Amino acid sequence: MNYAGIDIGSRTTELALVDDTTTVVLALQTDTGFDPMAGVRKLLEGVEYDAVLATGYGRGLFEIAFDAPTVTEIKALARGVRELFPGVPAVLDIGGQDSKAISLFENGRVKKFEMNDRCAAGTGKFLEVMAKTLGYQIEEFGDEALQAKNEIDISSMCTVFAESEVISLVAKGADRGEIAHGLHVSAMRRALGMVSRVSDGADLVFAGGVAKNACMRALLEKHLSRKVLVPNDPQTVCALGAALLARESVIGASL
């Protein structure tokens, strides 16, 4: 039997398919776009599954369109992390438009969490806007920021105000790479505050699209003074967790 997990995020949608041994047999991604369910149908086309569970921003739409159950991002993320990094007690997930910090009990259950979903500050969208303002591709933004020899302090965390501050710094002749580094430091500080409020100094799993950013990874490890573990595919952790929970719901129902 196969079990599908769908994570419908604000920017991208991921599918993870696991079998009875919890092995991932398929992982796919598409842009969420203006019609999230069209993206979901595209991902599921030709995929055979015996149970499905959705999570993420669009899970309410999924529940209506597919008449199928859903689960919160917090539960799905915690389950995915427990599968990939058993025993690691803390998780930071920075996605397109929200951030989540979670602490876990030894059995992987959620102990405490904090979520920033009302403002894009420090999220992937924030970094994307700043990269564009500085003339970088988002894929190179983190690597370029790491090369900076000095740090420029960016006082604004609001995306709109920070963009104005960046434009002003560029007009004054500030080094582009140093501005980029300062923006990453600002985003890191916001994430650091969330993590510190839910977790102590134990190792941390860093998931979500922003976990691909080399500068964010380096800054978090430096300032947290703890090991930061990044999954091979950090954007599919929630989808994986949803798939595993779908499997467990079927197994539990059959007992």
30: number of Cβ within 10 Å:
15
Provide the 8-state DSSP code for 147: T
User: Which of 6-10, 145-149, 182-186, 223-227 shows the lowest mean pLDDT across its residues?
Assistant: 223-227
Q: Is the pTM of the predicted complex or chain greater than 0.85?
A: yes
Pairwise CA distance, residues 218 & 126, whole Å: 18
Q: What is the pLDDT of residues 88-132, one digit of tens each?
A: 999 999 998 889 999 999 889 999 999 886 677 788 999 999 999
Confidence of residue 254 (pLDDT cuts 50, 70, 90): low
- Tell me the mean pLDDT in the region 12-20: 97
Q: Which residues pair with 47 in a beta bridge?
A: none
Going from the N-terminus, what domains does the chain have, and what CATH number goes with each? 1-85+233-255 (3.30.420.40), 87-230 (3.30.420.40)
Pairwise CA distance, residues 32 & 235, whole Å: 13
Higher pLDDT, 12 or 255: 12
Q: What is the pLDDT of residues 111-121, one digit of tens each?
A: 999 988 667 77
